[in-house]
Chains A and B, each alone.
Chain A
């Protein structure tokens, strides 16, 4: 007798439907599993055998063949246990096969028949709804996450015994009223806030401009100058994610095994990979391809501390993603596309020892400083719009009252972003304007045009640099809510520009 259950496997950051076909027929007792299972999936046979016996069912002493279709897709993870066990029970007529047509199942089995949560159920729920399923059955711990997708009945299961009741009135679906409000940008009880940044008015200003225009930025300064403190607070300045964006971010977090607290949507992520990270770790890769930090930062901020220490290869791999907002990882077997629309914040010490040329304790050799500068200026040079140098705040500054909180800066940023959406279309910001859009959007008044023309010769601004200054000036005007770009905006944008090291 044959039975089919439906479940999913993760491809990239999305779910793909997988059919679990189980055939039970006479022959020597055996249990084989086919369809490119990995080690964890293959071991599923032992868990299923024990769980079936320990849940009051009978494990059929027949020849059992389980097939995971499509057969050419590599399957990974323990999430197939529940579907295999359910199909096995249906094939041996211990439960009704009818419910398996209507519900997708996913969960890991304990030997006692209990069902444990698995990563990626939000992705499965979205795929199940697209596939026309009536509902999904998942571990109780996954139910709140799956219920974020509307229009789908989510049945929480505690143990394998409940599969018999699936589709019947005895098993209540998850009540969406239990869902709490989506989380805001900060996570945890005491989220970081810009108010903690004291006495660094220009750094604050630069953060606000970066947030308002989606500009990537580079902060250079000695240790203790507040570089990572500032970067960590950047997500709190961005407008909250729209619901569909938040679901996408949550889905990515979920398939990577780091879901937000049950029932909440993820806020804007902040990712700060260490500089020893590999290229695959940063942009995604491996076989089967897994998302990297760039994808985990989707919708939020990717912070690269010590930019100059990252491997050249890893940084080069970031260029295309920064432009396109997505990464294509191509392997012999599969090619997947991973989303990665994030804001880049890079930080660096001013010289190898970190104290900086202005410090009298810095004794870095001329050649080593030169190498450091060259590496820094080469890294992602044409992808960074804003750069500034910071210093350790003075002791007096640290005693100042807390600065303006994130919420009020966020209000200005949101207004500026709305102006950009009106001008450029949904989901776009000044940082991604094409040259033609830049020309159209940045109408300069007389003094501004004169200032910019002078800077061309005097400051050695390149064509690309010129574009960047215009885009940043546009953001500054948006923050003020004015249509024309003025000389003040251009002057300000010029001071935020990225400079090249002296010859």
Chain B
């Protein structure tokens, strides 16, 4: 198979790129109206976004040479495909009129072309997430990738990038859907991650031609592609009215499943995900819950317990699980001397049960503690 796109679809992509600033004006707050706008045909889109120049853009785009755009794609070391081409992922066709005409990408295009809808999961979540959310996202990405699931996300800071990173650590395939051109690592901070994805058999993809600037409306538009690609969309930490909830809504509209990672009920960072659970989303505690949903119960077990713990470490770990995040807090709660607590926390960190932030605040990793013989008996102080 040779990758390619038809002229009409490329011209459509060019038109969207030219109209981007005008779409920004009419796409509403946060650009949320963009998927509906992008469902319109060329003339109706031009008239919907209005303005004196819109008709000119339409004429320009119709007259534009698809060959020039193909050259541009090559120059940007990207590839392109369109909905009339075999390399176009079939799951995107579920978007109907909203399906992007052309896709531009960088990386292993076969990963996108050969995407198996049943083994693809989208992970989304807050850009600014807690250590808990970030840890869960990374672990989900790692375990899902390890079980052969393709992890789709948006390369954003926070949950998205952690999910990608986890998937790469799990030596799996991950797909990043960008709002702007696929050759522009955005956000800038994730440029290292971008390179890792491209060089490790993953794909970075966008519906805008290479070099296109991103506008606010590009992100809701990007979300519909992410929602369509995954069989399930898992939301890790989202506040009320967050973009991740919009993605979840799009997934539901497409008939996809939505999963949510439970959060603390008194944390504003988790209000959105907890509401999703109330509304009937699939509860996601770890990768196993996602696998059970995707592949049915009895799917390969990914829950591996961590290294063995002596009673003292187990007791300290329980205090961290109970919500004490500083050494002071744990020492007070466990009534162990400060230096003993400090040493125990370091050991737990080295074993992988805990991580510490840059200020020395501890958080629990998803690593499962092994069962003990005296399970059920309260251990420690």
- B339 and A488 within 8 A (CB): yes
Is B358's CB within 8 Å of the partner chain A?
A: yes
Q: Which residues of B contact A201 (CB under 8 A)?
A: 328, 331-332, 337-338, 341
Q: SS class of chain B's interface: helix, strand, loop or mixed?
A: helix
Looking at B134, B339, B347, B350, which has the most chain A CB atoms within 10 Å of its CB?
A: B339
Is A373's CB within 8 Å of the partner chain B?
A: yes
- A459 and B349 within 8 A (CB): yes
- A199 and B332 within 8 A (CB): yes
- A387 and B359 within 8 A (CB): yes
- B347 and A360 within 8 A (CB): no
Q: Which residues of A contact B359 (CB under 8 A)?
A: 220, 350, 387-389, 499
- B346 and A491 within 8 A (CB): yes
- A360 and B267 within 8 A (CB): yes
- B356 and A499 within 8 A (CB): yes
- A495 and B329 within 8 A (CB): no
- B350 and A459 within 8 A (CB): yes
B267 and chain A: residue at smallest CB distance: A360
Q: A391-B328, A394-B332, A503-B192 are in contact. Are A358 and B349 (CB under 8 A)?
A: no
Q: Which residues of A contact B342 (CB under 8 A)?
A: 202, 205, 491-492, 495-496
A398 to B327 Cα, complex, angstroms? 18
Is A200's CB within 8 Å of the partner chain B?
A: yes
Q: Which of B128, B339, B360 contacts A389 (CB 8 A)?
A: B360
- Residues of A349-385 at the interface with B, using a CB-CB cut-off of 8 Å, are 350, 357-358, 360, 363, 365-366, 369, 373, 376-377
Contact with B along A183-224 (1 / 0, CB 8 A): 000000000000000011111110000000000000010000
A358 to B342 Cα, complex, angstroms? 20
- Residues of B318-363 at the interface with A, using a CB-CB cut-off of 8 Å, are 325-329, 331-332, 337-347, 349-350, 352, 356-361
- B327 and A388 within 8 A (CB): yes
A192 to B345 Cα, complex, angstroms? 31
- Shortest B116–chain A CB gap in Å is 31
Is B268's CB within 8 Å of the partner chain A?
A: yes
Q: Which residues of B contact A377 (CB under 8 A)?
A: 358
- Residues of A127-163 at the interface with B, using a CB-CB cut-off of 8 Å, are none
- Shortest B342–chain A CB gap in Å is 4
Is B213's CB within 8 Å of the partner chain A?
A: no
The interface size of chain A toward B, counting residues with CB under 8 Å, comes to 44
Q: Which residues of B contact A394 (CB under 8 A)?
A: 332
Q: Which residues of A contact B192 (CB under 8 A)?
A: 503
Q: Which residues of B contact A202 (CB under 8 A)?
A: 326-328, 331, 338, 341-342
A281 to B260 Cα, complex, angstroms? 54
A495 and chain B: residue at smallest CB distance: B342
Q: Which of B343, B350, B357 contacts A502 (CB 8 A)?
A: B357
Q: A201-B331, A205-B342 are in contact. Are A388 and B360 (CB under 8 A)?
A: yes
- A495 and B350 within 8 A (CB): no
A494 to B341 Cα, complex, angstroms? 12
- A492 and B358 within 8 A (CB): no
A494 to B268 Cα, complex, angstroms? 33
A503 to B157 Cα, complex, angstroms? 10
Q: Which of B338, B350, B360 contacts A204 (CB 8 A)?
A: B338
- B346 and A365 within 8 A (CB): no
Is B130's CB within 8 Å of the partner chain A?
A: yes
Q: Which residues of B contact A203 (CB under 8 A)?
A: 328
Looking at A202, A373, A491, A492, which has the most chain B CB atoms within 10 Å of its CB?
A: A202
Q: Which residues of B contact A419 (CB under 8 A)?
A: none
A365 to B339 Cα, complex, angstroms? 35
- Shortest A455–chain B CB gap in Å is 6
Interface size class of B (residues with CB under 8 A): 35 or more
- A391 and B360 within 8 A (CB): no
- B157 and A366 within 8 A (CB): yes
B329 and chain A: residue at smallest CB distance: A391
A394 to B345 Cα, complex, angstroms? 21
Is A334's CB within 8 Å of the partner chain B?
A: no
B270 and chain A: residue at smallest CB distance: A360
- A357 and B347 within 8 A (CB): no
- B158 and A458 within 8 A (CB): no
A455 to B349 Cα, complex, angstroms? 9
Q: A389-B359, A499-B360 are in contact. Are A360 and B266 (CB under 8 A)?
A: yes
Is A34's CB within 8 Å of the partner chain B?
A: no
Q: Which residues of A contact B314 (CB under 8 A)?
A: none
- B350 and A357 within 8 A (CB): no
- Shortest B101–chain A CB gap in Å is 33
Q: Which residues of A contact B184 (CB under 8 A)?
A: none
- A365 and B331 within 8 A (CB): no
Looking at A204, A350, A366, which has the most chain B CB atoms within 10 Å of its CB?
A: A366
A395 to B158 Cα, complex, angstroms? 34
Q: Which residues of A contact B345 (CB under 8 A)?
A: 495
Q: Which residues of B contact A449 (CB under 8 A)?
A: none
Is B22's CB within 8 Å of the partner chain A?
A: no
Q: A357-B130, A357-B131 are in contact. Are A488 and B343 (CB under 8 A)?
A: yes
- Residues of B86-139 at the interface with A, using a CB-CB cut-off of 8 Å, are 127-128, 130-131, 134
A389 to B131 Cα, complex, angstroms? 15
Q: Which residues of A contact B360 (CB under 8 A)?
A: 220, 387-389, 495-496, 499
- Shortest B157–chain A CB gap in Å is 6
Q: Which residues of B contact A391 (CB under 8 A)?
A: 325-326, 328-329
A479 and chain B: residue at smallest CB distance: B339
- Shortest A396–chain B CB gap in Å is 9
Q: Which residues of B contact A376 (CB under 8 A)?
A: 358
A459 to B157 Cα, complex, angstroms? 22
- B127 and A455 within 8 A (CB): no
Q: Which residues of B contact A27 (CB under 8 A)?
A: none
- A366 and B357 within 8 A (CB): no
Q: Which residues of A contact B158 (CB under 8 A)?
A: 366
Q: Which residues of B contact A488 (CB under 8 A)?
A: 339-340, 343
Q: Which residues of B contact A502 (CB under 8 A)?
A: 134, 357-358
- B357 and A458 within 8 A (CB): no
- B358 and A500 within 8 A (CB): yes
- Shortest A484–chain B CB gap in Å is 16
Q: Which residues of A contact B341 (CB under 8 A)?
A: 201-202
- Shortest B236–chain A CB gap in Å is 15
Q: Which residues of A contact B328 (CB under 8 A)?
A: 200-203, 390-391
B131 and chain A: residue at smallest CB distance: A357
A376 to B332 Cα, complex, angstroms? 28
Q: Which of B325, B346, B358 contacts A358 (CB 8 A)?
A: B325
- Shortest A477–chain B CB gap in Å is 11
Is A451's CB within 8 Å of the partner chain B?
A: yes
- Residues of B279-314 at the interface with A, using a CB-CB cut-off of 8 Å, are none
Is A20's CB within 8 Å of the partner chain B?
A: no
Q: Which residues of A contact B127 (CB under 8 A)?
A: 366
Q: Which of A205, A387, A459 contacts B338 (CB 8 A)?
A: A205
- Shortest A503–chain B CB gap in Å is 7
Contact with B along A98-137 (1 / 0, CB 8 A): 0000000000000000000000000000000000000000
Can you name 12 A-B residue pairings with CB atoms under 8 Å? A358-B130, A360-B269, A376-B358, A391-B325, A391-B329, A455-B346, A455-B350, A458-B352, A491-B343, A492-B342, A495-B327, A495-B360
Given contacts A358-B130, A491-B347, could you give 7 more A-B pairs where the C-beta distance is less than 8 Å? A199-B332, A205-B338, A366-B157, A389-B361, A476-B339, A488-B339, A499-B357
B interface residues (Cβ-Cβ under 8 A, vs A): 127-128, 130-131, 134, 157-158, 192, 266-269, 325-329, 331-332, 337-347, 349-350, 352, 356-361
